[in-house]
């Protein structure tokens, strides 16, 4: 979105507003206010609060009239990087094993740590009412794999 002067900025205020605070019902935008969810520690999945939806709707009647709204919105670039993911998992697994020092024998190997983590993963998913396949499909959509 090219803005050369203040008048162009005023004309594109609805698009700029939507870019900053997101659209009602969407969790995109630089700023947000959400309803905390004690069962889910990932804030990106929390529901947008009603007062914030009012803020988001400030330019609702005009934002679609702005030409080329996509140019005003920047999507976070997601890339598949198995090497980075594998290194992160290795790092997390060794840290997790270190934190379990009181629960593990000194000679416990990585298989014991991963087995313990697997059991905990199943418990967490059950608490949240989700499963691996559902979460995997969501990630495939996010990364445009399907």
Q: Are 113 and 100 in contact (CB under 8 A)?
A: yes
3-state secondary structure of 48: strand
Q: Are 125 and 132 in contact (CB under 8 A)?
A: yes
- Comparing CA positions, the residue from 132, 123, 91, 82 lying closest to residue 110 is 91
- pTM for this entry: 0.47
pLDDT, one tens digit per residue, over 30-55 is 788 888 989 988 887 888 888 888 88
Position 123 scores a pLDDT of: 97
pLDDT, one tens digit per residue, over 92-122 is 999 999 999 889 998 999 999 999 999 999 9
CA distance 57 to 71: 20
Position 146 pLDDT exceeds 90: no
Using CB atoms within 10 Å of the CB of residue 30, give its burial: 0 to 12 exposed, 13 to 18 middle, 19+ buried: exposed
CA distance 94 to 117: 11
- Comparing CA positions, the residue from 22, 27, 52 lying closest to residue 142 is 27
DSSP 8-state class, residue 46? S
Residue 52, C-beta contacts closer than 8 angstroms, at least 6 positions apart: 21, 32, 33, 34
Residue 96, C-beta contacts closer than 8 angstroms, at least 6 positions apart: 113, 117
pLDDT, one tens digit per residue, over 73-99 is 455 566 788 999 999 999 999 999 999
């Amino acid at each position: 979105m090219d803005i050369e002067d203040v008048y162009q900025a005023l004309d594109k205020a609805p698009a700029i507003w939507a870019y900053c605070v997101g659209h009602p019902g969407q969790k995109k935008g630089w700023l947000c206010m959400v309803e905390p969810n004690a069962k889910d520690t990932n804030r990106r999945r929390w529901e947008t609060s009603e007062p914030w939806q009012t803020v988001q709707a400030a330019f609702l009647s005009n934002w679609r009239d702005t030409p080329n709204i996509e140019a005003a919105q920047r999507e976070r670039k997601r890339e598949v990087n198995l090497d980075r993911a594998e290194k992160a998992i290795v790092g997390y697994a060794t840290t997790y094993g270190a934190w379990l020092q009181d629960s593990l024998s000194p000679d416990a190997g990585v298989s014991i740590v991963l087995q313990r983590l697997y059991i905990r993963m199943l418990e967490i998913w059950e608490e949240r009412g989700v499963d691996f396949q559902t979460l995997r499909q969501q990630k495939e959509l996010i990364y445009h794999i399907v």
